[in-house]
Amino acid sequence: MRRTVYRTCTLCEATCGLLFEVDGDRILSVRPDPDDPISKGYACPKGMAIAKVHDDPDRLRRPMRRVGPDRFEPIGWEEALDRAAAGLRSVLDRHGRDSVAAYWGNPVVHNHGALLLRRAVNRILRTRNVYGAGSQDTSPRFATSFHLYGSSLSFPVPDLDRTDFFLCIGANPVVSNGSVMTAPDVRGRLRALRRRVGKLVVVDPRRSETAEEADEYVPIRPGTDAALLFAMASLIVRAGRASPRAAEQANGLDTILQRLAALDLDAAARFTGVPLDQIVRLAREFEERPSSVAYSRVGVCNSRFGTLGTYATDLLNVIAGRLGAVGGAMFPTPALDVRRILQRTGDDGHGRWRTRVRGLPETLGELPSAALAEEIETPGPGQVRGLFTFAGNPVLSAPNGTRTAAALGRLKFMVSVDLYVNETTRYADLILPPAWSLADEHVDFIFPLTSVRNAVRCSPPVVPKPVDERHDWEILLSLVRRLGGGPTAMPVVDSLLRVAERFGVRWTPRRMVALLLRSGAFGKGLWPWRRGLSMRELEASQHGIDLGPLEPGVAHGVLHKSGRVELAPKPILDEWRAFERALVHETTVSGLLLIGRREIRTNNSWMHNVPSLVSGAERCLLFVHPKDAILRGIADGEQAVLESRVHRATVRVRVTEEVTPGVVSLPHGWGHATAAPWQRVAGRRPGVSVNDWTDGAEVENVVGQSIL
């Protein structure tokens, strides 16, 4: 029977509303939902192609067992789960704690069922060797939030729809759809900013798609964003224009004011390549506008001073009085709030343990992916001998992919929960494929923490789950239980749940979401007479529930016991000293600086097996400035040899003024040659993996993230 289903897209942070026309188990069409409270009729090409993954003949439907190099055969679910549990248990029994690592890919944060079980999997594996995609691009943001606001998931989000001045540093939200800033149709929102006589300033080594929308584009030397932001804050302080709100909100302000007063502005200008008079004007405009906000993202996070640059972004907002102010950097009020839970369970923090080989710190429970290969290669107690991966592809997303691939080949046992045989899962002894997400309900409780407007949405399944497939949370729960654990990893609670199951009450993600909703800011709490959101009301709202604009103030975002922003944490001050030394002893780079690039039709290392998303002109190209091309005798469209300390290979060149001289750019997520037998579309246009050139030995100091 033909029907209409409204659903939130789970492919990126924008979480746009989609409208599906469905007949039985066939998806007939996908369109943007014009009544969604956040996206309001916008969706990107990925969302329009989401049904193609459901229909992809290369997507795995049955568990696969590796029977030889690059050879797999299908097996039944019970056998696969038994083998997976037995293989993991064998490694743990023989080699002990930390001998099995876990790697969580980006899709886990788009899947509430799997996310709720992530802790249980990590605990039952008895491991601190937990890695993930977040350690490749977001750990500096997590660490900054943890130290300043008391929670890694407290994010000051640009109040994009009400600001007068948007300073966008090292981010390309027109293409990313917003990152740690859930804002569908960013281009439309930026044009609305300009229509209300606001100003958009983009700071980036590349004239990105967002820079094309800007009133002012500021090219900058890669990795120097912190110097620009500190200089702007310093100029505001020196002019006596620091906001009184800063003293009202923050501890440690005097220490920071002294640091800012001592900053060498001329050195900062030389370091960044941005003229000092331009920095002075930007600082004045930022402070004088009725409202303004600074926002930085992956380009800053992935630099050598990634955490300090992220901190400097927040500091500028604090100094100018923009934190918690309308049109500034504001904290969302999520209907489902996991931050306090992470505090109480001890799952939030920074630097609580470190890697065995190099001593790199954890952030929000994850270690830097730059350490994964060496932790597998290096003998001794705690050596990684087994690996569990969930929707992750570290061969393409971690640094020095060729080394990572070789390390995976040395494992004693590996099991992957994944839709495809890819560059990473080809090494797995077992692949456990989940049903595609459109066959399960979905409640997003991560991206309301980053949304430019408060809302909550619950999506029903679009199509029924085939009887011979399993939801990913069902796979995880089956593994945990076979290994002797329970869904909460809290023995008392899991014992009570086992008793409840005897009476027909099963643990399900839906029941956990209902508890989160009841305990959240808009829920009923423990009081039956109190008005508040319920699961029944949420499920009845086809398009989601609009909870209004972001609220002024910081109380709902700062989780420190003091209730105040802690502006001078030790890890930040220590890194500031290293930054000051670099500022004084700057050295000229002799070669070219390689930066990454996003594309709106790709999603990290996947979605390349969808024909409509990879059609047209070749996109995995190295952007080179004309001056650099002339110096090296390279013409547009030619193949050139690109070499770093860890990799040397050829890549096709596009000569363009989109990048600044001395900078080259290559998009991430490509490099599908080894997966070609199992992903036929991706294999026809494999491209190259930018992370093959990334040196895992070079990491940022505070969180150990790769410098990309």
pLDDT of residue 360: 98
Task: State the Cα–Cα distance between residues 90 and 84, nearest whole angstrom.
Answer: 10
User: Lowest mean pLDDT: which of 246-250, 391-395, 565-569, 597-601?
Assistant: 597-601
pLDDT of residue 588: 67
Q: pLDDT digit string (tens) for 58-96?
A: 999 999 999 999 999 999 999 999 999 999 999 999 999
Token representation of residue 438? 């459109």
Q: What is the mean pLDDT of residues 393-399?
A: 96
Fold adopted by 590-693? Barwin-like endoglucanases (2.40.40)
Task: State the Cα–Cα distance between residues 415 and 117, nearest whole angstrom.
Answer: 17
pLDDT of residue 504: 80
Q: pLDDT digit string (tens) for 423-459?
A: 999 999 999 999 999 999 999 989 999 999 999 999 9
If we measure between CA atoms, which residue out of 472, 480, 371 comes closest to residue 431?
A: 472
pLDDT of residue 572: 98
- Of the pLDDT bands very low, low, confident and very high (cuts 50, 70, 90), residue 565 is very high
If we measure between CA atoms, which residue out of 649, 647, 651 comes closest to residue 621?
A: 651
Task: State the Cα–Cα distance between residues 644 and 594, nearest whole angstrom.
Answer: 10
Task: State the Cα–Cα distance between residues 81 and 478, nearest whole angstrom.
Answer: 7
Side-chain-facing half-sphere of 627: CA atoms under 13 Å: 8
Bridge partners of 433?
Answer: none
- Of the pLDDT bands very low, low, confident and very high (cuts 50, 70, 90), residue 587 is low
Q: What homologous superfamily does CATH list for 156-330+568-583? A: Dimethylsulfoxide Reductase, domain 2 (3.40.228.10)
- % of the chain exceeding 90 in pLDDT: 91
User: Lowest mean pLDDT: which of 16-20, 263-267, 355-359, 596-600?
Assistant: 596-600
**Cβ distance 665 to 659 under 8 Å?**
yes
Task: State the Cα–Cα distance between residues 192 and 184, nearest whole angstrom.
Answer: 13
pLDDT of residue 495: 83
Task: State the Cα–Cα distance between residues 654 and 667, nearest whole angstrom.
Answer: 12
**Cβ distance 315 to 148 under 8 Å?**
no
Bridge partners of 65?
Answer: 73, 430
Helix, strand, coil percentages in the chain from 3-state DSSP, rounded to 5: 35, 20, 45
- Of the pLDDT bands very low, low, confident and very high (cuts 50, 70, 90), residue 234 is very high
Q: pLDDT digit string (tens) for 133-167?
A: 999 999 999 999 999 999 999 999 999 999 999 99
pLDDT of residue 505: 78
- Work out whether strand 648-655 and strand 639-643 pair parallel, antiparallel, or are unpaired: antiparallel
User: Lowest mean pLDDT: which of 210-219, 273-282, 393-402, 596-605?
Assistant: 596-605
| Torsion 149-150-155-159 (CA) sign | negative
Domains of the chain by residue range: 156-330+568-583, 590-693
Q: Match 């109480």 to its residue by tokens.
A: 344
- Of the pLDDT bands very low, low, confident and very high (cuts 50, 70, 90), residue 499 is confident
How does the average pLDDT of the chain come out, rounded? Answer: 95
- For the chain, what's the residue count? 708
pLDDT of residue 491: 82
Q: What is the CA radius of gyration of the chain?
A: 25
- % of the chain exceeding 70 in pLDDT: 99
Q: pLDDT digit string (tens) for 682-695?
A: 999 999 999 999 99
If we measure between CA atoms, which residue out of 266, 311, 264 comes closest to residue 141?
A: 311
Q: What is the DSSP string of 378-441?
A: S-STT---EEEEES--HHHHSSSHHHHHHHHTT-SEEEEE-SS--TTGGG-SEEEPBPPGGGS-
